[in-house]
Amino acid sequence: MNKLEEAIGNLNNIQENIDALIYAIGDSPQQYTQDELLNMLMGMSQLHQTWYDKLWVEYENFRREYNAFDEDDMFDQNYLTSKKSLTKQKRKSKIEA
């Protein structure tokens, strides 16, 4: 659960990035060009997407670790079906051996 909590916490970093951008636009003694500000925004967007992707991976890992599946979810059904199939194959190969 620790990795999941960390991944959720990382999403809060976007707030710090927004605050830094607000400072760059309004209060910074340095005058940033439009290109520099746009580059900052594009970087923030990519970082946010990366943190979101990492959160999703940790969420899925958590669900698998604790068998927290939704029977109505198509993706969960596919995972459970493939997991059952692998278990049957393992049993069959042990019996044959």
58, 64, 60, 50: which is closest to 2 by C-alpha? 58
User: 78 vs 6, which has greater pLDDT?
Assistant: 6
Q: How many domains is the chain partitioned into structurally?
A: 2
Euclidean distance between CA atoms 59 and 68, whole angstroms: 10
- The answer to pTM > 0.85 is no
pLDDT tens string 19-71:
999 999 999 999 999 999 999 999 999 999 999 999 999 988 888 888 877 66
Task: Check residue 19 and give its pLDDT.
Answer: 94
DSSP string spanning 64-85?
A: HHTT---TT-HHHHHHHHHHHH
Same domain, 54 and 77: no
Between 92 and 17, the higher pLDDT residue: 17
Note whether 61 and 97 are same-domain residues.
Answer: no
Domain that holds residue 94: 71-97
Q: How far apart are CA 58 and CA 69, in angstroms?
A: 14
